[in-house]
Amino acid sequence: MPVLCSSCGDKRAVLKRPKTGHSLCKACFFWAFEEEVHQTIVTANLFKHGEIVGIAASGGKDSTVLAHVMKLLNERFNYGLELMLLSVDEGISGYRDDSLETVKRNQQQYELPLKIVSYEELYGWTMDAIVKQVGRKNNCTFCGVFRRQALDRGALMLKVDKICTGHNADDIAETVLMNVLRGDIARLRRCTAVSTSSEGDGVVPRCKPLKYAYEKEIVLYAYFKKLDYFSTECIYSPNAYRGHARTFLKDLESVRPSSIMDIIHSGENLSVRDGVKMPVQGTCQRCGYISSQSLCKACVLLEGLNRGLPKLGIGKHHRLHDKILTQQPLTEKEERKLKAVNF
């Protein structure tokens, strides 16, 4: 006996929703998924009529589903948004060049304007060149810091009011776990926020409309909608720490699917005691981007690359930042330590 959809009771169920366990037909699953994203958007008041919104697009499943659903909801509920795609080219041959081809196809399919900003044009370095210098252990630190700034710079060029990213519930739960394990209070407080307001000049507000969407459902949605997305992993993807958090989360989810939402809610409900010292946000004295130090992380990493001292931005070398800013020479010992690639 075929199982009937528990929502319409009419058509045959084709899937069991990972989030709720309900057996649904295709149409009811699409509706439930889209309706939940819509609820996230309206409950948190993510957008205002008339805003220009940049969708961070990598060609992967999350951002492809995000672009598809944003366009659909914008029309269905008359949000009145002007949507654009914004992509970052990290300069990873055999990976990003291929995924950007997917974004270019998405641009045609969704008829949205597309802007691509590249690390090479912004920083003078591709990730391929960075990996050559720093090896494959800390490359994601460089890539993550550069991407954050690159998206902001792209958003400023496009003059968008907001950026939305494809972070899903699994990503957020993983980040909560990682920040708990690291005791990173400042990030823990920020990472569950569905939207961040502008933190300063040059920083565009961001939001995560897929915050409550399970990764498994995003994959199902993309599959049943036959969306065109790119599913290969980055060739430089060691990020071992996140990998462990992910495996742990998947193990928890297999025992209890609500674990993902539970962890997000735990993160949301944690409050920081009065009097806990939080980093004070200022601006980078070199590039003007927000920073709690005299130099922002991107400028420190870049300085390290340009001087052949890749370790400069990894770990705590704040004392040296001032030396660099005032162009004092480093001692031989300091140089030796920062040159080591095997870190």
- Contact predicate 290/205, CB 8 Å: no
Among ligand SF4, Zn ion, none, partner that 287 touches (CB below 5 to 8 angstroms by kind): Zn ion
Comparison of 91 and 313: residue with beta carbon closer to Zn ion? 313
Distance CA 108, CA 26 (A): 25
Comparison of 28 and 140: residue with beta carbon closer to ligand SF4? 140
- Contact predicate 13/4, CB 8 Å: yes
Displacement of CA 53 from its chain's centroid (Å)? 16
Among ligand SF4, Zn ion, none, partner that 225 touches (CB below 5 to 8 angstroms by kind): none
Annotated ligand binding at 166? The verdict is yes
Residue 159 C-beta: closest distance to Zn ion, Å: 22
Comparison of 23 and 139: residue with beta carbon closer to ligand SF4? 139
Annotated ligand binding at 58? The verdict is yes
- Contact predicate 313/322, CB 8 Å: no
- Contact predicate 274/289, CB 8 Å: no
Annotated ligand binding at 57? The verdict is yes
Comparison of 90 and 303: residue with beta carbon closer to Zn ion? 303
Residue 58 C-beta: closest distance to ligand SF4, Å: 8
* Letter string b/e over residues 280-303, b meaning 16 or more CB atoms within 10 A of that residue's CB: eeebbebeebbbebbbbbbbbbbb
Annotated ligand binding at 88? The verdict is yes
Annotated ligand binding at 56? The verdict is yes
Comparison of 212 and 289: residue with beta carbon closer to Zn ion? 289
- Contact predicate 237/94, CB 8 Å: no
Q: What angle do CA 51, 162, 177 make, to 5 degrees?
A: 145
- Contact predicate 293/318, CB 8 Å: yes
Among ligand SF4, Zn ion, none, partner that 286 touches (CB below 5 to 8 angstroms by kind): Zn ion
Binding region for Zn ion (CB under 5 A): 284, 286-287, 289, 296, 299
Among Zn ion, ligand SF4, none, partner that 139 touches (CB below 5 to 8 angstroms by kind): ligand SF4
* Letter string b/e over residues 35-65, b meaning 16 or more CB atoms within 10 A of that residue's CB: ebbbebbeeeebbeeebebbbbbbbbbbbbb
Among Zn ion, ligand SF4, none, partner that 299 touches (CB below 5 to 8 angstroms by kind): Zn ion
Residue 268 C-beta: closest distance to Zn ion, Å: 31
Comparison of 90 and 303: residue with beta carbon closer to ligand SF4? 90
Residue 304 C-beta: closest distance to Zn ion, Å: 13
Comparison of 133 and 237: residue with beta carbon closer to ligand SF4? 237
Among ligand SF4, Zn ion, none, partner that 127 touches (CB below 5 to 8 angstroms by kind): ligand SF4
Q: Could you tell me how many residues make up the chain?
A: 343
Among ligand SF4, Zn ion, none, partner that 249 touches (CB below 5 to 8 angstroms by kind): none
Q: Which of 17, 112, 72, 25 is nearest to 209 (CA)?
A: 72
Binding region for ligand SF4 (CB under 6 A): 90, 127, 139-140, 143-144, 234, 236-237, 239
Distance CA 91, CA 292 (A): 28
Positions at the binding site for ATP: 56-58, 62, 88, 166, 171
